[in-house]
Amino acid sequence: MTHVGGVYGDKDTALARFVERYESLPASVRRRLALENDDKRFSVADISWVNKQTGIPLVFDHLHHLNHNPQGMGVREALETCLQSWPPDVTPKVHFSSPRTAMRLFERKSSRGRSANRQLRAPRPHHHADFVDPFQFSDFVQEARRHALPDFDVMLEAKAKDLALLHLREQLARFAPHATAE
């Protein structure tokens, strides 16, 4: 899985350059690639254009979509666009994370290695949170089910790693058991 890369002043040229470079890769490499939308430069609409040129399957990243969606594409439409890009015999992949909304304590070290300055920093909603919001995740899953979208695998992107998954499973069982029912 990869991102398109840099814009370098001209998004359309960058997208065309990605397609050109993709075509020059060995077939064995091209078969292994998937392309993900990012949080600042290339939206689902942008990578969908690349998919139409190359056939590269698209990985939908929920948080990136929330942070960068200049075309105003709805979550369901963006998810569906990405899911439909995968071959029928391959389970599509989706990335899900919650935005970092907590204050952070930032410490600057002095030249002697001791804490010299402590500051609270504002949340950064384009960064991954430590854990996944179970209500947001449940809504996402229910939306996919409501529209009978194809099955897909979800990769959680959370700073707490496996602990985040275990915590999410526990919270879903408690607050949203309908989200885990088959």
Q: State the pLDDT at residue 48.
A: 98
CATH number of the domain that 38 lies in? 3.20.20.150
Residue 117, domain member (yes or no): yes
What pLDDT is attached to residue 115? 62
- Start-to-end CA span in the chain (Å): 28
Going by their DSSP bridges, the two strands 115-121 and 58-61 should be labelled as unpaired
Whether residue 6 is contained in a domain is answered as no
- Give yes or no for residue 58 having a pLDDT over 60: yes
HSE on the CB side for 36, CA within 13 Å?
Answer: 18
pLDDT of residue 97 exceeding 60 = yes
In a domain, 1, yes or no: no
Tell me whether residue 142 is in a domain. yes
Task: Name the nearest CA neighbour of 156 among 173, 143, 169.
Answer: 169
pLDDT in tens, 128-147: 999 999 999 999 999 999 99
Does some domain include residue 2?
Answer: no
Q: Is the pLDDT of residue 113 over 80?
A: no
Q: What average pLDDT does range 147-154 have in this prediction? A: 94
Enclosing H/E stretch for 154: strand 153-156
pTM of the model: 0.89
User: In this model, does residue 163 exceed pLDDT 90?
Assistant: yes
Give residue 34's domain range: 11-180
Model confidence pLDDT, tens digit, residues 117-126: 888 888 888 8
Domain count, the chain: 1
List the one residue out of 140, 138, 48 whose CA is nearest residue 94.
140
Q: How far is Cα 59 from Cα 80, in angstroms, rounded to an integer?
A: 11
